[in-house]
A and B are shown apart, each in its own frame.
Chain A
Amino acid sequence: MAPIKDESHWRPLVEECFRREAGTQASIPNLAQDLIETGVLDSMGWVSFLRALESASGINDLGALLTNRAPSLESIFQVFNEAQAENSSIQAASNARHAVTGASAILVSSCAAVGSRKIPSEEIDQAFGMPPGKLRLRAGIESLAYATEEENELTLGARAAQQTLHAAACGAQELDWIIATSETHRNYPSLSARLHSQLLARETCGALDVGGACLGLLNGLAVAQGLIASGQARTIAVITSDVHSRIFQPGRVAGEFGGLFGDGATAFLLRAKNGSTPQQAYALGEFFFGCAGQYAGAIRVSDASNGNLDVHFDGESLSRAAITRMEKVILDVELRSGIARSSVQGLATHQPNPRLVTLLAKQLDLVPDKFPSVARTFGNLGSSTCGVALDAILQSAQRSQPAQRDPIFLASLGPGLVFGGGWLVPIKT
Chain B
Amino acid sequence: MTKLLITEITRMGPAFCVIGLQREKDKIQSVRPVTATANSWLHFPYQRGDVLQCDLAPFSGAKPHIEDRVSTSGFEKESTVPEPEVVTYLRKAETAESLPELFGCALHENKSGSGLFAKPPEAKRSVCGTVTQNLRLEFCANELRATLALSSGEVLRDLPVVDRDWRDFIEAALAIRRGANRLARLERFLNSQFHYKVLSCPHHFIRLGLTRPYHELCWLMLDTLIPLPKQDWLEEF
Interface residues of chain A, those whose CB is within 8 Å of chain B, are 17, 20-21, 42-52, 62-64, 66-69, 71, 158, 162, 165-166, 169-174, 194, 197-200, 203
Contact = CB atoms under 8 A, between A and B. Distances in A.
Interface in B93-112: 110, 112
A63 B113 contact: no
Contacts of A173: 136, 138, 147
A20 B133 CA distance: 33
A68 B149 contact: no
B195 interface: yes
Contacts of A62: 141
B157 A71 contact: no
Contact of A44 (B149, B160, B191): B160
A198 B113 CA distance: 22
B113 A51 contact: yes
Most buried by A among B112, B149, B195, B214: B112
A44 B159 CA distance: 9
Contact of B141 (A67, A162, A170, A197): A67
Given A43-B143, A171-B136, A51 B196 contact: no
B143 A46 contact: yes
A203 B157 contact: yes
B138 A64 contact: yes
A165 B141 CA distance: 23
Contact of B142 (A45, A49, A66): A66
B41 to A, nearest CB: 20
Contacts of B188: 169
A48 B133 contact: no
A277 to B, nearest CB: 17
A422 B125 CA distance: 57
B147 A44 contact: no
Given A44-B219, A68-B183, A198 B149 contact: yes
Contact of A68 (B112, B113, B142, B195): B142
A416 B23 CA distance: 65
Contacts of A49: 113
B142 A52 contact: no
A52 B113 contact: yes
B145 interface: yes
A66 B143 CA distance: 10
Interface in B180-196: 183, 187-188, 190-192, 195-196
A17 B142 CA distance: 19
A239 to B, nearest CB: 15
Lowest 8 CB-CB distances: which A-B pairs, in order? A48-B113, A63-B140, A66-B141, A171-B191, A51-B114, A20-B112, A52-B113, A169-B192
A323 to B, nearest CB: 42
A416 B155 CA distance: 38
A63 B141 contact: yes
B155 A47 contact: no
Contacts of A20: 112-113
Nearest to B114: A51
A46 B141 contact: yes
B111 to A, nearest CB: 8
Contacts of B141: 46-47, 50, 62-63, 66-67, 69, 71
A351 to B, nearest CB: 32
Contacts of A43: 143, 160
Nearest to A162: B195
Contacts of A17: 112-113
Most buried by A among B140, B160, B196, B219: B140
Contact of B195 (A47, A69, A166, A194): A166
B158 interface: yes
Given A48-B158, A50-B140, A197-B153, 10 more contacts: A20-B112, A43-B143, A64-B139, A64-B140, A166-B191, A170-B191, A171-B136, A173-B136, A194-B153, A200-B147
A12 B93 CA distance: 49
Contacts of B196: 166
B158 A51 contact: yes
12 contacts: A17-B113, A21-B112, A21-B113, A44-B160, A47-B145, A51-B113, A63-B141, A174-B191, A197-B153, A200-B134, A200-B149, A200-B155
A23 to B, nearest CB: 10
A67 B112 CA distance: 22
Nearest to B211: A44
Nearest to B186: A67
A216 B46 CA distance: 55
B213 interface: no
